[in-house]
Amino acid sequence: MITHNFNTLDLLTSPVWIVSPFEEQLIYANSAARLLMQDLTFSQLRTGPYSVSSQKELPKYLSDLQNQHDIIEILTVQRKEEETALSCRLVLRKLTEAEPVIIFEGIEAPATLGLKASRSANYQRKKQDFYARFFLTNSAPMLLIDPSRDGQIVDANLAALNFYGYNHETMCQKHTWEINMLGRRVMPIMHEISHLPGGHKPLNFVHKLADGSTRHVQTYAGPIEIYGDKLMLCIVHDITEQKRLEEQLEHAAHHDAMTGLLNRRQFYHITEPGQMQHLAIAQDYSLLLIDTDRFKHINDLYGHSKGDEVLCALARTLESCARKGDLVFRWGGEEFVLLLPRTPLDTALSLAETIRVSVAKVSISGLPRFTVSIGWRITKEMKASMNCLNALMMLCIGRKMMDATACWRHKPRMRLEINDCA
């Protein structure tokens, strides 16, 4: 646990946030930063309407920060009761033996900095000079933008025309906010970018093409002076396929491959202290453990493929019974967990009964009806819940073993077993 005294940072006029990268939890914000936050959380600053970043998850920055790469994020902050953009430089620091922290340092640019009014209305590309040859022949889409003219695009290379699907004349009649899915909300971001130092890690946006389709892009934009005109050069990289693969990997990491439910790893992640407030489970909540009875018997007698059908049917039943905001997990094997935010005992019991009735109606060709055991716990502390969850599992396993011995030839019956482990 970090116990440093950061109060001296209140002497700074620049806003500073100190964040734990792994828990993505705010450790400290100085007085200037707190003034910009108002009632917002740091997570909301990173995901607001003007927020732009290279990485969604902070741990993905660690390698670049360790190699001292320049990384900039744009946060959405409050100024005079209005939302606006603020550029922040990210720095990695280690405090004694504690885990490393990421420092977000706000870059407050003086009004005199940035791109001044330009003469880009008279911009003419000189075909024979080095810049023109570099611009025209580069395989990366490039745009020249004039922020002082409402973000108008004044030039585009052949790669950009091919990427966006416009001819040169049409492209140069557009403004950057017309191709950016943020619309006019991108203008404060452009103002922030216009005074950033060069060399920072590119930022991610979604751009719209001529045919109406969208692409995830990573853009590097920085100030440039060409033929006396003060413009912005924007280099565009299409990362749509990369985003798709990342989303597939993230989904696979957090979901059970067979049932499609959230997995145990995601349960642990969601119930971390830094995550609970975002899911309305910081207050009272309930846990239901649903365990499939005699599942080994089903596998042994009817085959593992039929056992898989049982698990998938049970998963769909639990999803149909769950309310909005409830989370359904496959804990492992034939065990499932329902996390019920802000759910008192009577509501949890009612939902358990709904599950019991619904499972009783499940019919799978070639199989007899199957039964479930349900355990419950209402609590305020996740640590206590984890101990209770393990106890519930052992209880259900023990009772299934007794059933297998004493009731092997009996007709399967639906049972609702309610157990308080407090």
Whether 293 contacts 343, CB under 8 Å: no
Co-location of 269 and 401 in the same domain? yes
Terminal-to-terminal C-alpha distance of the chain: 28
- The active-site residue out of 73, 192, 334, 335 is 334
412 inside domain: no
115 inside domain: no
Q: Is the model more confident about 227 or about 43?
A: 43
Q: What is the pLDDT of residue 29?
A: 95
Q: What is the CA radius of gyration of the chain?
A: 28
CATH code for the domain in which residue 35 is found: 3.30.450.20
- H or E, element range at 360: helix 345-360
Q: What is the pLDDT of residue 190?
A: 84
Q: What is the pLDDT of residue 418?
A: 41
Q: What is the pLDDT of residue 116?
A: 45
280 inside domain: yes
Co-location of 392 and 269 in the same domain? yes
Domain boundary among 46, 77, 106: 106
Indicate whether 411 pLDDT > 50.
Answer: no
Q: What is the pLDDT of residue 279?
A: 54
Q: What is the pLDDT of residue 239?
A: 95
| Cα(104)–Cα(89) distance, integer angstroms | 6
Distance from the Cα of residue 332 to its chain's centroid: 25
Co-location of 335 and 222 in the same domain? no
Q: What is the pLDDT of residue 351?
A: 94
18 inside domain: yes
| Cα(183)–Cα(208) distance, integer angstroms | 10
Co-location of 222 and 259 in the same domain? no
Q: What is the pLDDT of residue 404?
A: 34
Q: Is the model more confident about 362 or about 197?
A: 362
Indicate whether 387 pLDDT > 60.
Answer: no
Which are the contacts of 91, defined by CB distance < 8 A and separation ≥ 6?
A: 65, 102, 103, 105
What is the extent of the structural domain holding 327? Answer: 255-406
Q: What is the DSSP letter of 255?
A: B
Query: Region 169-186: what's the mean pLDDT?
Result: 93
Co-location of 215 and 269 in the same domain? no
CATH code for the domain in which residue 402 is found: 3.30.70.270
- H or E, element range at 219: strand 214-226
Query: Region 227-233: what's the mean pLDDT?
Result: 83
Q: Where do we find the tokens 């004493």?
A: 406
Co-location of 280 and 169 in the same domain? no
Q: How confident is the model at residue 394 (pLDDT cuts 50, 70, 90)?
A: low
Q: Where do we find the tokens 């025209």?
A: 136
Co-location of 371 and 269 in the same domain? yes
334 inside domain: yes
Question: Side-chain half-sphere of 395: how many Cα atoms within 13 Å?
Answer: 17
Q: What is the DSSP letter of 52?
A: B
Q: How confident is the model at residue 277 (pLDDT cuts 50, 70, 90)?
A: low
72-81, 210-219, 369-378: range with lowest mean pLDDT: 369-378
Q: pLDDT for 281-298, tens place per residue?
A: 556 678 899 999 989 999
| Cα(162)–Cα(143) distance, integer angstroms | 12
Write out the two tokens for 247: 């989303």
Q: pLDDT for 21-30, tens place per residue?
A: 988 889 999 9
248 inside domain: no
413 inside domain: no
Q: Is the model more confident about 354 or about 387?
A: 354
Q: pLDDT for 327-354, tens place per residue?
A: 999 999 999 999 998 888 889 999 999 9
Q: What is the DSSP letter of 196?
A: S
Q: Which amino acid is at 251?
A: H
Q: How confident is the model at residue 323 (pLDDT cuts 50, 70, 90)?
A: very high
Q: pLDDT for 93-124, tens place per residue?
A: 987 667 899 999 998 765 444 444 444 556 66
Query: Region 55-76: what's the mean pLDDT?
Result: 91
Q: What is the pLDDT of residue 119?
A: 44
Q: How confident is the model at residue 1 (pLDDT cuts 50, 70, 90)?
A: very low
- Structural domain count of the chain: 3
| Cα(75)–Cα(78) distance, integer angstroms | 10
Indicate whether 92 pLDDT > 70.
Answer: yes
Co-location of 68 and 191 in the same domain? no
Q: What is the pLDDT of residue 175?
A: 95
- Greatest CA separation for the chain: 92
Co-location of 68 and 184 in the same domain? no
Q: pLDDT for 307-318, tens place per residue?
A: 999 999 999 999
Q: How confident is the model at residue 236 (pLDDT cuts 50, 70, 90)?
A: very high
374 inside domain: yes
Co-location of 277 and 399 in the same domain? yes
Co-location of 273 and 165 in the same domain? no
Domain boundary among 106, 140, 160: 106
Indicate whether 405 pLDDT > 50.
Answer: no
Q: What is the pLDDT of residue 386?
A: 54
Percent of the chain's residues with pLDDT above 90: 53
* Active-site annotation holds for 334: yes
Q: How confident is the model at residue 133 (pLDDT cuts 50, 70, 90)?
A: confident
Co-location of 159 and 219 in the same domain? yes
Q: Is the model more confident about 410 or about 339?
A: 339
Range 41-52 burial, b when 16+ CB lie within 10 A, else e? ebbebbebebbb
